[in-house]
Structure 1
Amino acid sequence: MSLFRRRPKLPPALRPPLEADERVLAWAFVGEPGEQVVVATNRGLWQPGGRRLGWHEIHKAEWSGRELRITPAEVAQERPGYTVMVDAPIIGFLLLEPGELPDQVRTRVTRSVAYTSHHPLPPNGGVRVVGRRISGADGLSWSVRYDARTAVDADPVVDVTDQLVEAAREATAPPA
């Protein structure tokens, strides 16, 4: 056994349609080796079927030792300067030979988060303000996720959320 074993290259027939500056970081067959792969690139996670989730579009990634579970973000509402996000249905991938894929996914999702802060909102509830990096784009993309019991459309909640996002933007702005 060699100390410098190299992972086999991604079969060309299974390579997703990468952008010009996109490169493969890790990949793994889904289920038994054969026809479907999950591919991590510097831009996001390619799923079987050719759909890519950007790292900033993944709320959570969990690795059980056999299954990679991804909770994508879904846009619930667009507001001036930020989006309101909710969890989309969880996507699971059985990876019998995961290689470096779970580590790359965890690292890339974590790196995409540049700012996060949770704030309680009266009377009961709260909001998480998040600034995320998008590969290939300058600046941060701002979003919020409300706790389950929060009245997300109530005018006072929207006003406070607007103020919290603006304060986060100011706190992370480069010095002039």
Structure 2
Amino acid sequence: MKLFNRMPAEVRAAVDPADRVLTYAEGPDGYVIAADRALYLGGTRMPWFQVDRGSWDEEGLTVVTTDGRSHRARLPEPGRVPEAVRERVTASIVVNQYVPLDARGGVRLVARRAEADRLVWEFVFDAGLDSDDPGLRALAEQALEETRRSFGV
């Protein structure tokens, strides 16, 4: 977004009234809007706590959500959007702790700040570990309780 430019009406109309626009960029498929509480990409609102990571290349922006879905936006002139995505995703992470579970591997415990200062916890198991294994789930739950106590959250 260029300094002192007026925000296009399409950008204002696309954003939830409770969200404050930080920056935006227009691509061939529409606007990508970084707001204080969410990213708007392809007409979809993604709260920051649901965005796992973003990456930028000469073609545009790729965002991966915490459920593993990938979203792509072509942006020939990205402006400050990549910087805002990085800052907002980083700011949403409250705890990021790796815990070994057994000889096969471990789990990353990630707490993200959601709306109303609620924390959303995520288990990210090492590759090759079955996240549905009841024994591993029990170990991960125990590790989560210990992590919550140690971080006071």
TM-score (norm 1): 0.77
* Distance in structure 1 (CA, Å) of the matches to 2:62 and 2:139: 33
How far 1:161 moved relative to its partner? 0.6
Residue 45 in 1 paired to residue 39 in 2? yes
The Cα of 1:170 is off from its aligned counterpart by: 1.4
1-structure distance, mates of 2:125, 2:139: 12
The alignment status of 1:129 with 2:109, answered yes or no, reads yes
Q: Which residue of 2 aligns with 1:157?
A: 136
CA distance in 1, matches of 2:149, 2:112: 15
5+ residue gaps, structure 1, are 75-86
Mapped partners of 1:139, 1:103: distance in 2 = 25
Aligned AA for 1:129? L
Which one has a larger percent helix, Structure 1 or Structure 2?
2
Q: 1:148 aligns with which of 127, 147, 152?
A: 127
- My pick for the range that moved more, 116-125 or 143-152, is 116-125
Post-superposition shift, 1:21?
2.8
How far apart, in 1, do the equivalents of 2:96 and 2:48 lie? 15
> Of the candidates 88, 102, 115, which is equivalent to residue 82 of structure 2?
102
Residue type of the partner of 1:153? D
Q: Deviations over 1:47-86 (max 9, x none)?
A: 12x2111111111111124421111111xxxxxxxxxxxx
- What is the identity, as a one-letter code, of the residue corresponding to 2:34? A
Partner residue, 1:69: 62
Identity, % of aligned pairs? 30
Task: Provide the C-alpha distance between the structure 1 equivalents of 2:11 and 2:18, rounded to a whole number of angstroms.
Answer: 18
User: Does 2:72 match 1:92?
Assistant: yes
How far did 1:115 drift?
0.5
Give the Å deviation of 1:155: 2.1
Distance between the aligned counterparts of 1:162 and 1:20, measured in 2? 37
2:41 maps to amino acid: Q
Structure 2: which 5+ runs fail to align?
none
Q: How many residues align?
A: 152
Residue 57 of structure 1: aligned partner: 50
- 1:167 positional shift: 1.4
Separation of aligned partners in 2, 1:139 and 1:170: 17
Q: Alpha carbon RMSD of aligned pairs, Å?
A: 2.0
